[in-house]
Amino acid sequence: MDGLILVRKPQNITSHDVILKIRKIFGIQKVGHFGTLDPMATGLLIVSIGKATKLFPVFSAMNKVYEGQIRLGFSTDTYDAQGERTSETIVKFPSMNDIALYIRFFKGKTYQVPPPYSAVKYKGQPLYKLARKNLKIKTNPRQIWIYSFFIKNYEPPFLDFELECSSGTYIRSLAHELGEKIGCHGHLSRLERTRIGHYTLNQSYSLEEIEKIVQKKCSEEIIITLDKTLQEHPRIFLQHSDVNRIRHGNSIPVKSIRHSLKNNSPLSKSNKIQEPIIRLFDHEGNFCGFAKQIPHSDQIHPLLVIDTKNSSDEMKS
């Protein structure tokens, strides 16, 4: 059993709690997820089963969309509603136009310092463990992208928003920083993840729904099989000899590509593949993995190899 399940995570449980529940429901140990949600947050969590756990490098880089709410007026040590207050309470709030002006400065490429209560590690220890010991650690800012950030509703002290961002973005930090910049403090009071890449919350299932479906022995209804993942990318068929090369982690020439179902050809006139990731299949239609073209060459190199025909499979990079 290999594939993805789109889970609708409830509030007040960890992402790891979801994994434990899925392991119990399916009776298997090889389960993982692509992108942690804080206990307070709800929404889309992509869970991988079996060989699909090897897809983490692909899915972890996907953009994410969130809807949430910022509570203005005071800040907390965790930057969200589950933390302790760290500022006085302010009751005078800026106008919506003033907030919109500040939000503009968050868009595009920027740098973000991870919140003190996070799983980011410093000298081998998660920051949240150090924060609990009242140790203040200075961490380096990380580059992130905010592709969109707009206000959906504003009724002081509550500000409803929606944003799209790159992987690794801490929405709690954005809420805290916005509150500091506009001078009235603030923290994240609600958050829901609505999209990861092309997968949406509307496609997801609750843990209760998943359990009932599995009990009815209809798990194929909710599992996205390996060959159906990342369908927005070209599907390429390889010759038998090239399949063996790919499965051993070797590059192959672009000219070996037999066929693509995306516009009938993934190649430009300059013999370059026009997508960052391509899906690989053997001549029988069995999924082999993912690859990308080596820059400034006519070779494609496997990013991830999954031999669905044999029990012994490896990841190549």
Q: Residues with catalytic annotation?
A: 38
The pair of three-digit structure tokens given for residue 271, joined into one six-digit string:
């013999």
Single out the residue of 185, 146, 183 nearest to residue 66, CA to CA: 146
Token couple for 103: 């939000």
115 SS3 class = coil
> Exposed, middle or buried: residue 29 (CB in 10 Å: 0-12, 13-18, 19+)?
exposed
Which token pair is 314?
């490896």
Q: Is 265 helix (H, G, I), strand (E, B) or coil?
A: coil
Separation of alpha carbons 68 and 107, rounded Å: 17
- Name every residue whose Cβ is closer than 8 Å to that of residue 277 and which is 6 or more positions away in sequence: 58, 230, 233, 290, 291, 292, 303
Are 283 and 297 spatial neighbours (Cβ–Cβ below 8 Å)?
no
Q: 46-58 in b/e burial notation, b at 16+ Cβ within 10 A?
A: bbbbbbbbbbbeb
